[in-house]
Amino acid sequence: MLFHKISTTIILLLFLVACKEESKSNIKKESKKINVVDSVLTDSSKIKKTKEKFELTEENAIDFFFNYSKELKANKVKLTTSLGSFTIQLYDNVPYHKANFIYLTRKGYFDNTQFHRVVKNFIIQGGNSDNRATSKKRSEIGRYLLPPDTRKGHKHHRGTVSMPSSEINNPHMLASPFEFFIVVTKPGSYHLDGEYTPFGKIIQGMDIVDKINSQDVGKGDWPSINIYIKKAEVIE
């Protein structure tokens, strides 16, 4: 009888020890699982969020170009066209328009656009195109207009580079930032003064501007043969 009680006690003790060991094992396994989850969470926290793409708007364009102009030292842009190249010097005292032109140049906007309007003995106008790539670039840069800046003493002499105004719902003659025109008229087209913003002048290659102006045109003053701006680059 005594032997039976001792045996029962030993079996009970062995059972309790086994249960205790199994409990420890489960705790270790559970602890392992938590560590793995923590590791995954830690790794995920290191993944950098994609930066939101910056777009210019009516609300932020003025402040952006005001700050952008403060850092600008360059004031010349060279345009290489399918008919030759010429260089523009930008005026320092029209900071928004100068900054806009350099910004778009650095963004590669003008590359592969065209001189889409040629009016004999008057102007050539560039910065647009009938291809989808140009439209896509505009949408990626943003939708905005620039205020006119016509009281800085610049006139529309021959060789002046100026910015046309948007034709859509624009009673205040806000400038269309993606396009520009160059005056060809001798000595100038002064009836444009006060309406459009001159922001630069041709300092080299006016003969190329004249060559573009001499091309045959079709309906809407669009040149019969496409005249491309192959490359626009800031001269640092």
Domain hosting 1: range is: 1-47
Q: Tell whether 196 is covered by a domain.
A: yes
**In this predicted structure, what is the pLDDT of residue 169?**
66
Q: Are residues 185 and 231 in the same domain?
A: yes
Q: Are residues 113 and 29 in the same domain?
A: no
Residue 3: is its pLDDT beyond 80?
no
Q: Are residues 120 and 218 in the same domain?
A: yes
Q: Are residues 133 and 178 in the same domain?
A: yes
Q: Are residues 68 and 19 in the same domain?
A: no
Using one digit for the tens of pLDDT, what is the confidence trace for 63-98?
Answer: 999 999 999 999 999 999 999 999 999 999 999 999
Q: Tell whether 52 is covered by a domain.
A: no
Q: Are residues 75 and 177 in the same domain?
A: yes
Q: Are residues 111 and 215 in the same domain?
A: yes
Q: Are residues 185 and 92 in the same domain?
A: yes
**In this predicted structure, what is the pLDDT of residue 29?**
42
Mean of the per-residue pLDDT values of the chain = 84
User: Pairing mode, if any, of strands 84-90 and 160-163?
Assistant: unpaired
Residue 118: strand pairing partners: 124
Using one digit for the tens of pLDDT, what is the confidence trace for 57-72?
Answer: 999 999 999 999 999 9
Give the residue, 24 or 176, on which the prediction is more confident.
176
Q: CA 25, CA 48: separation in Å to the nearest integer?
A: 38
Q: Are residues 195 and 220 in the same domain?
A: yes
Q: Are residues 35 and 77 in the same domain?
A: no
φ and ψ of 78, to 5 deg: -105, 130
Contact 116, 222 (CB under 8 A): yes
Q: Are residues 98 and 186 in the same domain?
A: yes
Q: Tell whether 87 is covered by a domain.
A: yes
Residue 224: is its pLDDT beyond 70?
yes
Residue 135: is its pLDDT beyond 70?
yes
| CATH label of the domain that carries residue 185 | 2.40.100.10
Q: Are residues 114 and 223 in the same domain?
A: yes
Band (pLDDT 50/70/90 cuts) for residue 178 is very high
Using one digit for the tens of pLDDT, what is the confidence trace for 16-57?
Answer: 445 455 444 443 443 333 233 333 333 444 434 445 789 999
Contact 183, 189 (CB under 8 A): yes
**In this predicted structure, what is the pLDDT of residue 168?**
64
Domain count, the chain: 2
